[in-house]
Amino acid sequence: MTTISKSPDQPSKPQAVVLLSGGLDSATVLAIASQDFDCHALSFDYGQRSLSELKAAKQLADYYAVSHQLIKIDTGVMLGSALTDQSIAVPDQHEEGIPVTYVPARNTLFLSHALAVAEVRSSNNIFIGVNAVDYSGYPDCRLEFIDAFEAMANLATKAGVEGNFLKIHTPLIDKSKAEIIALGIQLNVDYSVTVSCYQANEQGEACGHCDSCQLRSKGFENAFVSDPTRYF
């Protein structure tokens, strides 16, 4: 990938902090946010099974020429999930209800870190790629959670008290996976770089079986886009 160059003559854009996992959704969000905002991307090492998504995040940040910060979350915190505990198997099929890949308070922790970083950088905007259509069943991907977080955040910070209200942007919230992909293709997102698989190997190759792989694969099919995912 070549890097999108920035012209020094561009008018200055407002700043935003973008949560960038390295997956399909957050790559699309970064492409969207980069159009109108000066972005700072955040990725998290929280003891997840697959670290290849963090390499993908770095590649995406480099491509969009945005600053990238990797934040380490204490491994003693987000336990008891198939994504953080090697002794719990990632299921091959979609589970009804909240699946075993649910990670306790994950988006709350990600957004809390983003809130601190945003305040330090005097930024009023956070972007997150949650969506509630073709989604995982995680409670912290719903709009009502995001709205409650935003309300809390504006009571929590000096910025909020002083009237510099934080806005959490969720540009994918109402989109199906196919719609997300179609939008990303328009914006030239290189999905071959992204890693969505819950158990991708070190090379970023996907299993093709887990819930996340199935949702992604079906998304490409429904968007009539050939699937660039590398499977092992």
CB of 1 to a copy of itself, least distance (A): 26
User: Hey, CA dihedral for 113, 30, 123, 170, is it positive or negative?
Assistant: negative
CB of 69 to a copy of itself, least distance (A): 6
CB of 90 to a copy of itself, least distance (A): 17
CB of 155 to a copy of itself, least distance (A): 4
Residue 8 to residues 49, 66, 179, 205: CA-CA distances in angstroms?
40, 14, 33, 37
**Is the Cβ of residue 2 or residue 72 nearer to a copy of itself in the bound state?**
72
Q: For 114, what's the count of Cα atoms within 13 Å in the CB-facing half-sphere?
A: 32
Residues in contact with a copy of itself by the rule CB under 8 A: 69, 71-74, 76-80, 98, 102, 104-109, 112-113, 115-117, 119-120, 139-140, 142, 144-145, 148-149, 151-153, 155-158, 160-162
**Is the Cβ of residue 44 or residue 191 nearer to a copy of itself in the bound state?**
44
Task: Centre a 10 Å sphere on the Cβ of residue 203 and count the other Cβ atoms it contains.
Answer: 10
φ, ψ (nearest 5 deg) of residue 29? -60, -40
Residue with tokens 């990600």: 110
**Is the Cβ of residue 75 or residue 192 nearer to a copy of itself in the bound state?**
75
